[in-house]
Each structure stands twice: as C-alpha cells, then as structure tokens.
Amino acid sequence: MIVHLRFFASLRERLKMRAAERTLADGATVAELWNALCRERPDLEPLSASITFAVNREYVDRAHRLADGDEVALIPPVSGG
C-alpha cells in the first residue's frame, strides 16, 4: 500500500522535504512506518519521543493501522498561538 507522508517545521527542515510517498506492507502500523523511517534516517531516532502522528487529519497513536492512500502527517511538538 502507498501512504502520503507530510513533514512540517523542524522535521521538514531536517529532511529537506515537505512530502513523500511511501510503500508499506498492508496493515503496517504507524510504529512500523516510523521505525522504517528511522532505519533510513538514524538522525530521526532522537526525535522519537517528541513526534506525534495524524492520519487523514486526526491524531492517532502508534498502534494505528494504516490503509492504502492514507495521509500521514509527522507532527513535531506544536507551538501555535
């Protein structure tokens, strides 16, 4: 399945991109997605505790199972207002 990743703020600057497509095994969880990203980019590992995730614009926990076509946003600590 293919998911559409979106990156913001500090993560966007670190990865030097706003968005990416990712192919994952069917039924992969957010945790598995994050682990795969960290394997490719070990510099993401220290951010693990502070990144949260949204799928199709709703916050989810890392056990959430992804579906084909999902938009997954990687959300660094927010600081609006």
Interface positions with other proteins (CB under 8 A): 6, 8-10, 12-13, 49-50, 52, 54, 57-59, 61, 73, 75-81
Q: Are strands 2-7 and 71-75 parallel, antiparallel or unpaired?
A: parallel
Strands (E), the chain: 2-7, 19-23, 52-55, 58-60, 71-75
Question: Taking the complex as a whole, how short is the minimal distance between the CB of residue 49 and other proteins, in angstroms?
Answer: 8
Closest CB to other proteins among residues 2, 19: 19
Closest CB to other proteins among residues 6, 22: 6
CA–CA distance from 43 to each of 11, 40, 47 (Å)?
Answer: 11, 9, 8
Closest CB to other proteins among residues 28, 74: 74
